[in-house]
Each structure stands twice: as structure tokens, then as C-alpha cells.
Amino acid sequence: MAGISVVAKKEFLDHVMGWKFLLILAILMIISLLAIYQGVESYNENLERYKEGMVEIEEHPEVMPPGWMPEKPSILFVFQMMSMLYFGILGAILAIAIGFNLISGEKESGSLKSLLSHPVFRDTIINGKALGGMGALGFAMLVMTLLSIGILMMLGIMPTGDEFVRILVFMGFTLLFMFSFFAIALMCSTIAKNSTRAITYTLVIFIVISAVMPTAGMFVGMHLAGDMPEYPGMSRQDINEAEGEDISKEEQIEEQIEEQERIQEEWQEEMQEYGKKVMRVREMFSIADPKSNFDKVSSAVLDPTFEPLRGFFGLGGEESRAETSILEALGMVWKNLLVLLVFPVVMFAIAYIKFMRMDIR
């Protein structure tokens, strides 16, 4: 353990003091600040509308539907924007930049052969390098977490206890997501003969599992699910024509509208089933994609009213807006969470076995 800690400390300092790490971290911080600014603006606008809605209810309670209440905005919306727009790509890039030349760079410079000539075990080197890289990623995420929460507090926005817990859990899963791509880069660095091949292999894997496979899964899922249920909307023109035929047919028109509402409810159910079929196939294609799994887990953590199918072709009605606890939400995405936990372990295991059997000449 003493040898591992020495290697890990050296790797950690090399990373956090290197220009690549500092440059990507600076870009990540700048873009995150932009996301926080945009998110806070939207939060303040929604909060103002919420206050106006509450005043309207107090002044005219009779005009509001029974039991209806405006939805109070959450500061978690800021982190939803950061997750959707920035962390998924920039986090992966930072992790790849740290890991792609950990072993291949040593092989190119010849320092790996010199290092192994000393009385040091191979597993000490690979474990120390992995821990040093993960420590650098943890440092970057700690900086981002403190920066984000500090800015919110400076702006006078204090997260509630539940929101604070969700933010910390989200940052933890973001770090786990970054570990996945770090492990891919470390594996490619161990397999490849040089850093150029290592970064090429890593980017190819990144594109295939995070872009090609999910897109292919969507198309295959839509093909296997069959034709999408056709929307049975009754146009306003049809209603006007019925009104023009006979003004006394108001009751008939009302019946037609009620029938149309019933048909639309059936269509909604058909769309739900169609969406489930497509999503099952897509999830099969994305089972090895850290980004797809991270997107689902982060949505569960940051959305107190999370529903797995919400957003699929506009599915998810108001009846699905009941709040869920963070444990209940994570229970809905336990498979995605399991992939985020297992994926980096598998990638590191491949890198470890390859490094232990590597012929260094």
C-alpha cells in the first residue's frame, strides 16, 4: 500500500499541475458558470410566476380547479441544465484526457521499462496510476461542486435540505460517470502501442457506445414496435362545420367532443405502450453506454417528479407529477445505476490483466 500511495500521489500531482488538466478544468468551469447563470435566470422567472399564481389563488380561489396548485420551481433546474448540456461531454473529455496516455506515454518515453527494472510490483504501478487519475477527477468534481453551491449562495439562493442532498448525490454520480471514461482510456492506453493509437481507440469506443449504438437502438426499436399510433385529433374546422349545419345540435357537438376525448385517451395509452417497446430495445443497445445510463440516473436524482417515460414523444401527463423521494427515484433506475458501478470495474480489470501480462522490452 505504501508503494501504491507513492505512485498515486505522484500521478495526482502530475495531473492537477499539468496544462491539459488545468485547461479542460477551466473550460468546464467557464461553461458551468454560463449554465448556472442561465439556470438562475430561468429559476427566478419561474419563481416570479409561481408567486403570481399563489396571489391569484388567494384573491380568486373560485376560478381555480379544486386541488390545483402551481408547481414551485426548484433550484435543481440549474443542475439539470448542467447535466444535459455540459457534463455529459466535457466530463468524458476530461476523463479521457487524464487516462489515455497513462501507460502508453510511459512506453513511448521508455520510462516504463526503467521503472520496472526497480524492485516494484507491476500491480503497484497500475493501481497507483488509476488511483492518481481518479483522485484528479475527484479534485475537479470537488472544485465544481463548491463553486456551484457557492455561487448559488452568493446570489441569495439557499437549497433546501432535500435539494442539497440531491445536488451532492448528482455530483457523486457525475464523478462515477467520469470514472467510466477514465477506465476506457486507461484500458486503451494499456493495449495500444503509443498514445496516438490510445486516443484513437478511446474516441472510437466513445463515439460507438455513446452515439452510434443509442441511435441505432432507437431506429431498431421504432421498426420493431411497428407504426406509431396516429393522433386522432378532431380539428376545430370539423366542429365548426357541425355547428354550421344546425345550431340546435349543441348537444351532439358536445357528445362528439367527449367521444374525441375518449379516443385521445386511448391514443395516449397506445403511445405509452409504443414508447415502452421502443425504450426497451433502445436500452438494450445502450446497456454499455455510460452516458445514456448517466442521463437516466441524473434525471432521477435532479427531478423530484421523475417518471422514466416522461419526455418520450411528449408522454407523461399531469397525473404523473407526484413527487418521489430520491431513494424511490433511484429504485426506478437501479439497472442504470448498476451499469455505472460495474462498467469502470470491468474496464479497469481488462487494463489490469493486460498490464500484468505485458511484455516490456
Query: What pLDDT does residue 307 have?
Result: 73
Q: Is the pLDDT of residue 317 over 50?
A: no
Burial class (CB in 10 A: 0-12, 13-18, 19+), 141: buried
Q: Which pLDDT tens digit goes with each residue over 45-80?
A: 877 777 776 776 666 665 555 555 556 667 787 787
In tens, the pLDDT along 321-355 reads 567 788 888 888 888 899 889 999 999 999 999 88
Q: Which residue has the higher pLDDT, 311 or 272?
A: 272
What confidence category does residue 320 fall into, taking pLDDT thresholds of 50, 70 and 90?
very low
Mean pLDDT over 167-190 rounds to: 90
Q: Which of 4-8, 106-110, 314-318: highest mean pLDDT?
A: 4-8
Q: What is the pLDDT of residue 321?
A: 55
**Residues 80-97 pLDDT 10s:** 777 766 667 778 888 898
pLDDT for residue 68: 53
- The mean pLDDT value for 304-329 works out to 63
Over residues 142-153, the mean pLDDT reads: 84
When mean pLDDT is compared over 73-77, 100-104, 129-133, the highest value belongs to 129-133
Above 80 in pLDDT, residue 180?
yes
Do 221 and 277 meet the contact criterion of CB atoms below 8 Å apart? yes
89: number of Cβ within 10 Å = 13
DSSP one-letter code for 307? -
SS3 61: helix
pLDDT in tens, 258-284: 777 777 777 778 777 887 788 888 888
Instruction: Yes or no: say if 83 and 302 are a contact pair by the CB < 8 Å rule.
Output: yes
- What band does 309 get if pLDDT is binned at 50, 70 and 90? low
Residue 347: what pLDDT? 92
* Burial call 180-213: b when 16+ CB within 10 Å, e when fewer: bbbbbbbbbbbbbeebeebbebbbebbeebbeeb
pLDDT of res. 70: 58
Instruction: Say if residues 356 and 343 touch (Cβ distance below 8 Å).
Output: no
Q: What pLDDT is stored for residue 343 in this prediction? A: 92
Mean pLDDT estimate for the chain: 78
DSSP assignment string, 4-41: HHHHHHHHHHHHHTSHHHHHHHHHHHHHHHHHHHHHHH
> What mean pLDDT do residues 292-304 have?
86
Mean pLDDT of 35-40: 77
Better-predicted residue by pLDDT, 207 or 64: 207
State residue 361's pLDDT score.
61
pLDDT band at 314 (very low <50, low <70, confident <90, very high): very low
pLDDT at 289: 86
Q: What's 118's DSSP letter?
A: S
Kindly tell me if the per-residue pLDDT of 244 is higher than 60. no
Instruction: Taking residues 164-188, report their average pLDDT.
Output: 90
